[in-house]
Amino acid sequence: MRKYGQYIYGFDIETTTIQDLDGELKSLMYVGTFGKLSFVTGEIKKDKVVRTWEDFDKYLYTLNRAAAYRKETQLLYCHNNYEWSFIVSNSKFFQEKIRESKSEALMKNERKPLFIRAGNIELRDSLLLLDKSIAELGEELGLPKLDYDYQKERFATTRLEPRDYDYNWRDVEIQLAALWDLIQTDLYIQTLADIPLTSTGRTRKYNRYDFRVNDEDAVNYWAYHCKQVFPR
* Banded model confidence at residue 22, pLDDT cuts 50, 70, 90: confident
User: Which domains can be identified in the chain, with CATH numbers?
Assistant: 4-197 (3.30.420.10), 198-232 (no CATH)
What does the pLDDT look like over 186-211, one tens digit per residue?
888 999 999 999 887 555 444 444 44
Which residue would you say has higher pLDDT here, 79 or 100? 79
User: For 13-27, 60-74, 77-91, 184-198, which range has the lowest pLDDT when averaged over its residues?
Assistant: 77-91
pLDDT at 107: 77
Q: Coil, strand or helix: which one is 154?
A: coil
Q: pTM of this prediction?
A: 0.84
Length of the chain: 232
pLDDT at 67: 97
Please report which residue ranges of the chain form alpha helices under DSSP H. 53-69, 81-90, 92-99, 126-130, 134-141, 162-185, 199-208, 216-229
Signed CA dihedral, 125, 77, 82, 173: sign only: positive
Contacts 24+ apart (CB under 8 A), 182-188: 182/129, 182/130, 183/39, 183/42, 184/42, 187/217, 187/218, 187/221
